[in-house]
Amino acid sequence: MLSDLKNIERISEALEANYHQVQHFISDSNWDARGVIDEVAKNVSRSLPKQTLTGLLIDESGWVKKGDKSVGVGHQYCGNVGKTANSQVAVFGCLSNGKYASLVDSRLYLPESWCQDSARCNEAGIPIEERDFKTKQSLAIDIIKHQLSMGISFDYVGADGLYGNDAAFARSINNLGLIYMLDIHSDQTIYLQKPELILPERKSDKGPSPKRLKASTPDTTVSKYVKELKTTEWKTIDIRHSAKGVLKSRFHFRTVYIWDKNINSVEERLLVVSIRKTKDGEEIKYSFTNASLAQYTEQAIAYIQAQRFFIEHSFKEQKQILGLDQFQTRKWLSWYHQVALNLLVGSFMLKEKLLSQEDIPLLSARDIMEFLIFRFYKEMTEERLLAALQERHRKRLKDIDYCYSD
C-alpha cells in the first residue's frame, strides 16, 4: 500500500524493475541533481499563482539515522523528533503563494566533525569545495542567493526562530534588498525606546575603568511585553481566504529595537505578534520584520507572518506521503539524487492541485497518490477510493470550520 512505496526495494517491486538498476540510478549514476533541483524551482515559480505576495520560506528538517556512515550524520538536534538524536539535517527552501507551496531547494548540513575529517569526507564522496563548515544560517543564505541568481521571483523571505534570533542573518537578508519575516523566541530581548550605548562612569579611583557598554533605556522580553498589552491594543485581521472562509487572527504591531552585542549595533525592527485560534486552544507567535507599515498594509504583514505554515505542511506531505524521511543512501551524490527526485514529485503534486483547484479545492498529496495507485495498480475499488477521499475531506472541512470561525 501507500507506505510501502517509499524505499528503493518497494519502488523496484512496484515498477517491476531491477533493484540493482534502480539502486545504481539513485546512488552512483552521474546525472545532475542540482540541475534537476534548479528546474524544479523554475517550474514551481512559473506555476504558482500570483494572487498575492510570494515567499521564499526557509526551514531545516532532519532524519534519525542508525550508525555513522550516512553523509552528514551526527548527534545533533533533529526537529523531526524534537530532541538531539543521531541524525542528518538539511536546510530547505520553499516557494509559497496563498495556499500553494512546494520545496524548491536544499543544502545538507555538515557538522564540524565531518568537515575536519578528510577520510570520512572522501568515503562519503563529498566534493572538496563543499567541505568548509557552514552554519544552517549560512546555508539558508546560499539558498536565497542561488534563487536570486536564477531569476526566481519572490517578495519576502520567511524563517523560524533559529534564524530570527540571529541578527547577522537578518542583516544579510536586508543587505540583499529583501523583506524578511523571521519568527523569534519568546525570550528575545527588545527595547521599546531606542537606546544609546554608553560606558558607565567610573564610580571611584580604585579598580579599572568600565569597559562594557550599557544601554541607556531598559530592556524587556517580547513575552513580558505582550503580557502587559491591553485588549484594545490588538486588532483582528483577515489573513487569507480559503475554501471555507477567511482565516483570522489577532495582531499587535510595534516598532522596537535590538542590541546586537556581537558588533555593538542597535537596530530597528517591527515586532509582529499574533494570537490564533487552534484545535488545542490558542497559539501565540512572535516575529521580526524589516517591512514597515508605511510600505505594507497590516493585512499584508499579517499574511506574510502566517505563510510559514506552508513549509511545515510541505515537509509533512513530503515525509508522510513521498518518503522524504526514508532515505536509504549514504553518500553525498545519492543524497542529492534522492532529494532532487522528492522535490520533482512535489512539484508534480503542486501542478495537480492547481489543475484541480476549482473542482477539488481540498485535494492533497495523499489524495493524488491514492488516485495514482488506483489508476496503475488497482489496489482498491473505485467505491473504496471515493469513500476514503470523502471522509478525509469531511474531516478537513470540520477542522477548517473550527479554525476559520469567528
Which band of pLDDT confidence, cut at 50, 70 and 90, is reported for residue 322?
A: confident
Report whether pLDDT(19) > 90: no
CA pair distance 74, 66, nearest whole angstrom: 10
- Look at the pTM and tell me if it is higher than 0.85: yes
pLDDT of residue 200: 80
Of 147 and 380, the one with more pLDDT:
147
Residue 3 has pLDDT above 50, yes or no: no
**In the predicted model, what is the mean pLDDT of residues 370-392?**
71
Parent domain of 41: 30-201+212-358
Determine, yes or no, domain membership for 196.
Answer: yes
Q: Is residue 2 part of a domain?
A: no
pLDDT at 2 over 70: no
Q: Dihedrals φ, ψ of 157, to 5°?
A: -115, 135
In a domain, 12, yes or no: no
Residue 383 within any structural domain of the chain: no
Task: Characterize 177-197 residue by residue with b for buried, 16 or more Cβ atoms within 10 angstroms of its Cβ, and e for exposed.
Answer: ebbbbbbbeeebbbbeeebee
Lowest-pLDDT choice from 69-83, 172-186, 200-214, 221-235: 200-214
In a 3-state reduction of DSSP, which class is residue 344? helix
The grid coordinates listed for 103 are 520545496
Task: Return the DSSP state at 5.
Answer: T
C-alpha torsion 27→28→34→35, nearest 10: -120
CATH number where 301 lies: 3.90.350.10
Q: Is residue 364, in this structure, part of any structural domain at all?
A: no
Q: State how far the Cα of 322 lies from the Cα of 7, in Å rounded to an integer.
A: 10
For residues 286 and 334, the answer to whether their CB atoms sit within 8 Å is: no
Q: Which residues contact 96 (CB under 8 A, 6 or more apart)?
A: 48, 54, 55, 57, 307, 310, 311
Which residues in 1-48 belong to E strands, given as ranges? none
Task: Using alpha carbons, select from 101, 168, 97 the residue that is nearest to residue 316.
Answer: 101
Q: Is residue 3 part of a domain?
A: no
Closest by CA to 55, choosing from 2, 102, 107, is 102
Q: Where are the beta strands (DSSP E) in 79-124?
A: 83-97, 100-108
Print burial letters for 326-340: b (CB count within 10 Å at least 16), e (below 16).
ebebbbbbbbbbbbb
> Is the pLDDT confidence value at 266 over 50?
yes
Q: What one-character DSSP code corresponds to residue 354? A: H
| 182 φ, ψ (degrees, to nearest 5) | -120, 120
Residue with the bigger pLDDT between 81 and 176: it is 176
Q: Answer with the residue of higher pLDDT: 373 or 148.
A: 148
Phi then psi for residue 232, to 5 deg, are -70, -10
Give residue 242's identity as a one-letter amino acid code: S
Q: pLDDT: is 59 or 320 the higher one?
A: 59
Q: Give the per-residue pLDDT at 242.
A: 62
Which residues partner with 166 through β-bridges? Answer: none
Number of domains in the chain: 1
Cα 58 → chain centroid = 4
Q: How far apart are the first and last CA of the chain?
A: 40
Contact by Cβ (8 Å): 251, 287: no
**Which of 266-275, 355-364, 370-379 is least confident?**
370-379
> What are the start-end ranges of the H helices in 51-124?
112-115, 118-124
Helix/strand/coil for 400:
helix
Say whether pLDDT at 13 is over 70: no
Residue with cell 540510478: 25
What amino acid occupies position 247?
A: L
**Cell digits of residue 236:** 483582528
- Using a pLDDT cut of 70, give the percent of the chain over it: 88
Residue 368 falls inside a structural domain? no
Neighbours of 303 (CB within 10 A): 21
Rounded to the nearest integer, the mean pLDDT of the chain is 88
Please give the backbone phi and psi of residue 42, each rounded to the nearest 5 degrees, phi first. Answer: -65, -40
Is a pLDDT exceeding 70 seen at residue 370?
yes
Q: Worst-scoring range by mean pLDDT, 6-10, 92-96, 119-123, 296-300?
A: 6-10
Domain presence at residue 388: no
